[in-house]
Chains A and B, each alone.
Chain A
Amino acid sequence: MTTAKNPARKRYIARFIPTMAVYVAAIFTVSWVFNRYEPTGPIAWGLALLPALPLLAIIAIMGVYLSEEGDEFIRKILVESMLWGVGLTLAIMTVWGFLEIYAGAPKLPSFWAFPIFCFGMGLAQPFIKRRYR
């Protein structure tokens, strides 16, 4: 994954960066529109979905990278780190969900699932890599 000449990795980065730029632009634009015009009804629903679209694309881009990566060991590390991301997301959502139901904990927006997944995935990678050294 760290090899500069890895073409699948290069394509992944070339897709990832502009999509994240679109996401940031969408967040700012939609926030601005909601502050300024306070839309409601179907328009609000449509606008609210706009920042989600680039993130859906990011999920697809991660999947495409996984299928394009020709190095099986790198693929294995990636899949393992994704599983750690999934595990962390499920753990936090489950624990916090019960805290919300019974203990009146503040609502954790479901939007956080994806950032938590990415955080868990990123955090796990160096530890997984170290196991194979």
Chain B
Amino acid sequence: MKNRLKILRAERDWSQADLADRLEVSRQTINALETGKYDPSLPLAFRIARLFGQPIESIFDDGQA
């Protein structure tokens, strides 16, 4: 699924490792999320949304809207 994680991360000047620490996941998980090859579970998507202070649908795009 397409997402804006990389942009949101860059805006904050965080590395993948920084974001991984903040979400308590591994750096390879962040990488898989950013490439859009792995879709997060709903709980992880909520954690991401809260961290960036944005609704899930403004971060992730399932191409249906």
Contact = CB atoms under 8 A, between A and B. Distances in A.
Interface residues of B, number: 15
Contacts of A6: 26
Interface stretch (A15-23, A56-64, A70-78): A70-78
A2 B26 CA distance: 8
A73 B27 contact: no
A9 to B, nearest CB: 9
Contact of A71 (B26, B35, B37): B26
Contact of B38 (A1, A2, A73): A73
B41 A72 contact: yes
B35 A133 contact: yes
Per DSSP, chain A at the interface is: loop
A133 B47 CA distance: 22
A74 B35 CA distance: 16
B52 to A, nearest CB: 19
A107 interface: no
Interface string B41-56: 1001000000000000
